[in-house]
């Protein structure tokens, strides 16, 4: 009896030690899973646990001759369960690393786009200031405008020339994709509203009958986004295509809350082809009522149908 008690005490203490180490690794994964250094620490802990399990296997083999079979069976089952947990942790580590890598890439891409948009915005502001200053300098007095207009035709056009130049410059600057604040997607659908208490969801239905929305944010035919408040302050939602996917699409709006109420939305759809001119179509003011989502029968409010091609866009309003 004395020998059996010593074996039981040793085996339980060893399992307590392994359980504590395993718990430490689990806490590490739950609390701090998002840094490279912490990921390396987790790898080290998992490696140590594997080494301990190899030691445990050898100990179990050496104790088979002295311990009862039922206790050996319990130890073997416990070791198998803990090995399975370690395997799950290794899979979780790989998944977290992949997600962290994707998040870093998305953040870098977003920072680059924001920097370009900020540069474009500063250029527009400076161009507007310069145009306003030139217009103020070139503005003729009422007394001198009539003689100049009567004597020479070139001089009569000089007051309007400084005014026309800013318009041409603005048209040039607001060319490709400037309707999307410099982010320049190939295709975009956007809705916005003024009531901050309203919660409106945007849905884009593909030719195959699938939906892209806030719940299905990344699909083969669209990506759901929200513009930074730096560029648009009104509540809004948007869906874009980085590469054009021609076809017939349906645009829906769903008033999620407040329930049993109405609100007014507006928005637009636009195409920005690589080898053509951009085109933008405004939806106008549209009043919508609360309803089920559009993927339910009779749900949502159909805004209209979009015919998207490689170089153009057509919109047929439903309301």
**Containing structural domain, residue 86:** 2-105
On whether both 166 and 204 belong to a single domain, the answer is no
User: Is 228 found in the same domain as 256?
Assistant: yes
Write the CA distances from 88 to 46, 81, 151, integer angstroms. 11, 11, 90
Query: Residue 75's pLDDT band (boundaries 50, 70, 90)?
Result: confident
197 and 245 assigned to the same domain: yes
Last residue in a domain, options 174, 195, 228: 174
Q: Are the beta carbons of 48 and 54 closer than 8 angstroms?
A: no
Within this chain, do residues 18 and 31 fall inside the same structural domain, yes or no?
yes
pLDDT, tens only, 269-300:
999 888 878 889 999 999 998 888 898 877 88
pLDDT in tens, 93-152: 778 777 777 777 777 777 777 777 777 777 888 887 888 788 777 766 555 444 444 444
Average pLDDT over residues 180-184: 68
User: Can you give the pTM of this predicted structure?
Assistant: 0.46
Q: How far is it, in rounded angstroms, from Cα 107 to Cα 101?
A: 10
- For residue 212, being part of any structural domain is answered with yes
Specify the number of domains making up the chain: 3
Q: What is the pLDDT of residue 26?
A: 64
Are 279 and 204 contained in the same domain? yes
pLDDT tens digits along 140-171 = 655 544 444 444 443 334 333 334 333 333 33
Which of 291, 301, 209 is closest to 258 using CA atoms?
291
Residue 260 resides in a domain: yes
Tokens of 121: 């915005």
Q: pLDDT-derived band of residue 203, with 50, 70 and 90 as boundaries? A: very high
Determine, yes or no, domain membership for 150: yes
């Amino acid at each position: 009896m004395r020998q059996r008690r010593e074996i039981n005490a040793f085996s339980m203490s060893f399992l307590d030690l392994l359980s504590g180490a395993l718990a430490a690794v689990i806490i590490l994964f739950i609390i701090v899973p998002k840094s490279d250094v912490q990921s390396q620490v987790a790898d080290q802990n998992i490696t140590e646990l594997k080494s301990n399990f190899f030691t445990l296997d050898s100990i179990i083999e050496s104790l088979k001759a002295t311990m009862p079979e039922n206790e050996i069976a319990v130890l073997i089952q416990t070791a198998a369960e803990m090995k399975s947990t370690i395997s799950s942790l290794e899979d979780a580590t790989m998944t977290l690393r992949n997600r962290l890598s994707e998040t870093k890439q998305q953040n870098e891409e977003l920072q680059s786009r924001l920097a370009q948009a900020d540069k474009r915005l500063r250029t527009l502001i400076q161009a507007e200031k310069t145009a306003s200053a030139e217009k103020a300098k070139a503005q003729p007095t009422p007394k001198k405008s009539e003689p100049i207009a009567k004597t020479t035709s070139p001089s009569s056009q000089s007051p309007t020339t400084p005014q026309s130049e800013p318009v041409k410059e603005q048209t040039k600057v607001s060319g490709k994709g400037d309707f999307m604040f410099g982010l320049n997607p190939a295709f975009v659908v956007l809705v916005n509203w003024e009531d901050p208490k309203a919660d409106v969801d945007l849905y884009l239905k593909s030719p195959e009958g699938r939906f892209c929305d806030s719940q299905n944010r990344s699909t083969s035919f669209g990506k759901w986004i929200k513009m930074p408040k730096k560029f648009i302050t009104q509540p809004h939602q948007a869906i874009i295509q980085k590469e054009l996917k021609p076809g017939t699409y349906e645009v829906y709006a769903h008033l999620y809350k407040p329930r049993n109420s109405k609100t007014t939305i507006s928005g637009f759809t636009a195409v920005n082809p690589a080898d053509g001119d951009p085109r933008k179509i405004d939806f106008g003011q549209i009043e919508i009522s609360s309803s089920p989502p559009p993927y339910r029968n009779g749900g949502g409010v159909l805004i209209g149908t979009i015919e998207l091609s490689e170089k153009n866009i057509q919109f047929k309003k439903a309301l």
